Amino acid sequence: MKVRRELEEMGRAARRAARLLARASGMRRDDALARMADALTARRDEVLSANEQDHEAARANGANESFLDRLLLDEGRLAGAAAGVRGVLSQPDPLADVFDERVLPNGLQVFKRRVPLGVIGVIYESRPNITIDIAALCVKSGNAAFLRGGSEAVRTNSALAGLASECAAAAGLPRESVQIVRSTDRALVGEMLGMKDYLDLMVPRGGAELVRRVAAEAAMPAITGGVGVCHAYVDRKVDVDLAVAVAYNAKVSRPSVCNALDTVLVHSAIAPAYLPKLAAEWSKDGVEIRADRRALTILGQSAGEGVRPAAPEDWGREYLSLTASVRVVDTVDEALEHIEAYGSGHTDTVLTEDDAVADRFVREVDSGVVLVNASTRFNDGGELGLGAEVAISTNKMHARGPMGLRELTSYKWVALGSGQVRN
Amino acid sequence: MKVRRELEEMGRAARRAARLLARASGMRRDDALARMADALTARRDEVLSANEQDHEAARANGANESFLDRLLLDEGRLAGAAAGVRGVLSQPDPLADVFDERVLPNGLQVFKRRVPLGVIGVIYESRPNITIDIAALCVKSGNAAFLRGGSEAVRTNSALAGLASECAAAAGLPRESVQIVRSTDRALVGEMLGMKDYLDLMVPRGGAELVRRVAAEAAMPAITGGVGVCHAYVDRKVDVDLAVAVAYNAKVSRPSVCNALDTVLVHSAIAPAYLPKLAAEWSKDGVEIRADRRALTILGQSAGEGVRPAAPEDWGREYLSLTASVRVVDTVDEALEHIEAYGSGHTDTVLTEDDAVADRFVREVDSGVVLVNASTRFNDGGELGLGAEVAISTNKMHARGPMGLRELTSYKWVALGSGQVRN
């Protein structure tokens, strides 16, 4: 009961903050972001020391390496977060956006004006840079942020959210523009998912279990996303070295995140030339391969102990680690069917020199981001030019793929008349 | 159980149809619409005779006038529906839309391509022209329509949906591009709301009870909308005759629909000049006024029996009939607070010659459509240039206000590369 009362108080404060944020000038909102970016450098030690405590506690609790990697902040990642805030800051003010203007035959002047959604609830796990990304995106777009991070990162997240909140206040915006739930009581998540009077949108960022729970329980609209079962289809007509380099990057550059590659589908005509080279590259980083029967036959002669037969559950699995599955297919159709059956609508890439194959892949793969001859790792708000992202949506409603500033807004229709009435 | 099995079969057919529709050319989809518009004229008698049967049955069941009006189709409304289909037909193909193109510094060529949502479920009451509006909007935008109309209009709706489905087939599209549930079993609605594997979006079109039920029970994303508690604020600085004409039109031109005016808020400085004139106009059509104390004092001297004191429940009430509430306010703030407290986020208009007041109203009223010196009746897809509408959303997510073709689509990100990898 006490928890609920506290959350409701936070919710009311968030509503008030959202109303003021929606009316605040773009200059004031930008000022808050500039202060956040500066504070991430100026108050670096304070944040890193909070993160060190979280990291040590997690390690003592036996957290695995992928988890510890996601939790970790260092000077580099903090500088990256500050650069992310500056990237968001440099974007045009989404609330200055007026679009779809027209004058109707009766003289009514109609247009749409972009408006904030209101209060954005975000429930996330480990990665603490999310705190600052979301604070920046919300404040810039005139939304209040209502955050609940993972309990293992509570010190880091509180430090970052406190910093963002103080920067908002210093810019003349409500302190409650950014709020974080500091209690680590697990019942909180359920309470938050019921707060439809206070939260206009719920964004889960975390593993499949969290995403499923939010989709099932959230009383407000919720984004589904963050679960990326990512495929690369290597066509028969392909630059083998390019396809090795892309699949290597997609798997190895940061295996713990949702846009990392999970499954390679390779055309049988190129598989004997391609797979051994890929396996050799991957083996340098210790990637474990789960291979179908035909891939196993090909790799059996060249690869070492890092290759195992794939089990049925390897298809459609998000590894989040240095593991990947490989399957040999005989046609583009087989690859498309595999992706339709096992993909999560997140990110898929085709590696081919055949324009017709690329075009079909782009048209028929029903995913948020579809790439040609490029790494799946580019499904990312920063990489795609949004500054940063609040989530990567696999929904088709509202927003799909990386959600930046514009995706945190709605619009209102405005019609300016001179006494028009309807017949 | 039989019902569920039938619905699932329809759902699977809709999925297949949606996949084919998404890949069909714009020419083929347009051909289906052209055939629908023609068939509404050519097969007019068949539709009108089905409607006559529905109308007689409803009248025999004691349906009220507002209900009977919504149910009615006549040659004029049928011609209107055909014109609506032609209006949708004449819109550009939303699926040809490629937008937000850019080339990233690493050479990746990024853009978004518009794609259909998939299968659109629509549960609606009475107004049978919705059947044809939605069939046209769905087919044009490459979505399959899965319809469930009110049981009182089942003959009319089945005739219209059958006609649309045959036109789709004649154009070489799947017959199941448009399907309607013909059973009037009330348990169907609950079953449909659970069909998240088959329906990508649920659109309720009907009264407040239906909208609430769908919001509470739908397992898939759902549009909230159609409940319009519409306000007009008559400012102190106003052209009285214009403001009378607009409020007259907004209330009287079609009282049974959601964009009809419900509440007039009038500044105390102009109320004595304005209200008697408004009441005199309204009384010609028999509008009943629910007046607050101050409005009552003003109207007591001039108006007849059509004026009664407002009860607390008159604020925030959608009348859907020839009744309106009137309140005298002393400031713009009071009007804005009233609308914030009692509005439904649907449609509100300000009648003023003061640009500052108009600007504040437009900024601060948080509704889907906000008008200045124009009738609330313009919140309508056809009137605002969308051709027709699938619903009028009061959600902020995805789409707000009238939802036309574009609002029935999502997009995918496409990135064309030449071997780009991420650092």
- Whether A263 maps to a domain, the answer reads yes
User: Which one of B113, B368, B414 has the shortest CB-CB distance to A412?
Assistant: B368
Chain A residues with CB under 8 Å of B413 CB are: 368-370, 379, 384, 400-402
3-state secondary structure of A23: helix
* pLDDT given for residue B67 in this prediction: 86
Same domain, A207 and A317: no
Same domain, B93 and B171: yes
- Whether A62 maps to a domain, the answer reads yes
Token match 């085709």: residue? A350
Integer Cα distance of B152 and A214 in angstroms = 38
Same domain, A251 and A316: yes
Please, which residues bridge with residue B204 across strands? Answer: B123
Identify the CA nearest to B128 among candidates B47, B62, B222: B47
| Inter-chain residue contact A373 with B418, CB threshold 8 Å | yes
CB A342 within 8 A of CB A316: yes
CB A173 within 8 A of CB A20: yes
Same domain, A179 and A286: no
Same domain, B7 and B144: yes
Answer positive or negative: Cα dihedral of A53, A58, A59, A61.
positive
Same domain, A180 and A146: yes
Find the CATH number of the domain harbouring A145: 3.40.605.10
- Whether B422 maps to a domain, the answer reads no
* pLDDT given for residue B302 in this prediction: 55
Residue A420's identity, in one-letter code, is: Q
Torsion of CA A15, A95, A160, A168, to 10 degrees: -70
Residue of B nearest to A242 (CA): B419
Q: And the tokens for B134?
A: 């939605």
C-alpha count within 13 angstroms, C-beta hemisphere, residue B344: 27
CB A253 within 8 A of CB A285: no
With an 8 Å Cβ cutoff, is A385 touching chain B? yes
CB A245 within 8 A of CB B421: yes
Q: Which helix (H) or strand (E) holds A369?
A: strand A369-374
Residue of A nearest to B243 (CA): A419
* pLDDT given for residue A303 in this prediction: 52
Integer Cα distance of A131 and B322 in angstroms = 52
CB B374 within 8 A of CB A419: yes
Residue of B nearest to A250 (CA): B421
Q: And the tokens for B315?
A: 């604020």
Identify the CA nearest to A293 among candidates A316, A311, A269, A318: A311
What residues contact residue B324 under an 8 Å CB cut-off, 6+ apart? Answer: B251, B261, B262, B263, B264, B282, B287, B288, B289, B290
User: Which one of B245, B366, B370 has the shortest CB-CB distance to A421?
Assistant: B245
- Whether B104 maps to a domain, the answer reads yes
With an 8 Å Cβ cutoff, is A191 touching chain B? no
Residue A149's identity, in one-letter code, is: G
- Whether B164 maps to a domain, the answer reads yes
| Inter-chain residue contact A239 with B384, CB threshold 8 Å | no
With an 8 Å Cβ cutoff, is A364 touching chain B? yes
With an 8 Å Cβ cutoff, is A235 touching chain B? no
3-state secondary structure of A309: strand
Torsion of CA B22, B28, B33, B38, to 10 degrees: -160
User: Which one of B242, B375, B418 has the shortest CB-CB distance to A422?
Assistant: B375
Please, which residues bridge with residue B414 across strands? Answer: A370, B111
Chain A residues with CB under 8 Å of B358 CB are: 416
CB A211 within 8 A of CB A185: no
Same domain, B213 and B267: no
Integer Cα distance of A164 and A212 in angstroms = 29
* pLDDT given for residue A387 in this prediction: 78
Per-residue pLDDT tens for B56-105? 999 999 999 888 988 999 999 999 999 989 999 999 999 999 999 999 99
Q: And the tokens for B3?
A: 């019902």
Q: How many domains does chain A have?
A: 2
With an 8 Å Cβ cutoff, is A383 touching chain B? yes
Residue of A nearest to B371 (CA): A415
* pLDDT given for residue B125 in this prediction: 84
- Whether B386 maps to a domain, the answer reads no
Q: Which residues of chain B have pLDDT under 50?
A: none
For chain B, give the secondary structure using H, E and C.
CHHHHHHHHHHHHHHHHHHHHHHCCHHHHHHHHHHHHHHHHHCHHHHHHHHHHHHHHHHHCCCCHHHHHHHCCCHHHHHHHHHHHHHHHCCCCHHHCEEEEEECCCCCEEEEEEEECCEEEEEECCCCHHHHHHHHHHHHCCCEEEEECCHHHHHHHHHHHHHHHHHHHHCCCCHHHEEECCCCCCHHHHHHHCCCCCCCEEEEECCHHHHHHHHHHCCCCECCECCCCEEEEECCCCCHHHHHHHHHHHHHCCCCCCCCEEEEEEECCCHHHHHHHHHHHHHHCCCEEEECHHHHHHHHCCCCCCEEECCHHHCCCCCCCCEEEEEEECCHHHHHHHHHHHCCCCEEEEECCCHHHHHHHHHHCCCCEEEEEECHHHCCCCCCCCCCCCEEECCCCCCCEEECCHHHEEEEEEEEEEEECCC
- Whether A383 maps to a domain, the answer reads no
Same domain, B48 and B137: yes
Integer Cα distance of B318 and B227 in angstroms = 7
Integer Cα distance of A103 and A414 in angstroms = 12
Integer Cα distance of A136 and A120 in angstroms = 12
3-state secondary structure of A95: helix
- Whether A384 maps to a domain, the answer reads no
Same domain, A249 and A138: no
For A179-203, give the secondary structure using H, E and C.
EECCCCCCHHHHHHHCCCCCCCEEE
Integer Cα distance of B27 and B89 in angstroms = 10
Residue B84's identity, in one-letter code, is: G
With an 8 Å Cβ cutoff, is B384 touching chain A? yes
Same domain, A219 and A340: no
Identify the CA nearest to B89 among candidates B157, B32, B172, B39: B32
| Inter-chain residue contact A371 with B416, CB threshold 8 Å | yes
User: Which one of B239, B372, B419 has the shortest CB-CB distance to A373?
Assistant: B419
* Tally of residues, chain A: 423
Residue B396's identity, in one-letter code, is: K
Residue B220 belongs to what domain range? 2-224+395-415
| Inter-chain residue contact A422 with B108, CB threshold 8 Å | no
* pLDDT given for residue B49 in this prediction: 97
Chain B residues with CB under 8 Å of A366 CB are: 115, 412
Q: And the tokens for B42?
A: 């050519």
With an 8 Å Cβ cutoff, is A400 touching chain B? yes
Chain B residues with CB under 8 Å of A377 CB are: 421-422
With an 8 Å Cβ cutoff, is A251 touching chain B? no
Identify the CA nearest to B129 among candidates B107, B102, B105, B159: B159
Tell how far CA A365 is from the center of its chain: 20
Same domain, A194 and A157: yes
Residue B312's identity, in one-letter code, is: P
* pLDDT given for residue B386 in this prediction: 85
Q: Which helix (H) or strand (E) holds A103?
A: strand A98-103
With an 8 Å Cβ cutoff, is B362 touching chain A? yes
CB A387 within 8 A of CB A86: no
Residues 42-81 on A with a CB inside 8 Å of B are: none
User: Which one of A362, A373, A398 has the shortest CB-CB distance to B398?
Assistant: A398
CB A211 within 8 A of CB A189: no
For residue B297, CA distances in Å to B43, B61, B309, B326 come to 56, 41, 10, 12
Residue B67's identity, in one-letter code, is: F
* pLDDT given for residue A304 in this prediction: 61
Same domain, A199 and A256: no
How far off is chain B from A60, nearest CA to CA, in Å? 31
Helices (H), A72-200: 75-89, 129-140, 154-170, 187-193
Beta strands A409-420; A401-403: pairing state: unpaired
Beta strands A144-148; A119-124: pairing state: parallel
Q: Which residues of chain A have pLDDT under 70?
A: 1, 301-304
3-state secondary structure of A414: strand
Helices (H), A310-393: 332-342, 355-364
Find the CATH number of the domain harbouring B298: 3.40.309.10
| Inter-chain residue contact B373 with A411, CB threshold 8 Å | no
* pLDDT given for residue B225 in this prediction: 83
For residue B391, CA distances in Å to A125, B85, B255 come to 37, 15, 18
Integer Cα distance of A124 and A139 in angstroms = 18
With an 8 Å Cβ cutoff, is A250 touching chain B? yes
φ, ψ of residue A107 in degrees (nearest 5): 95, -10
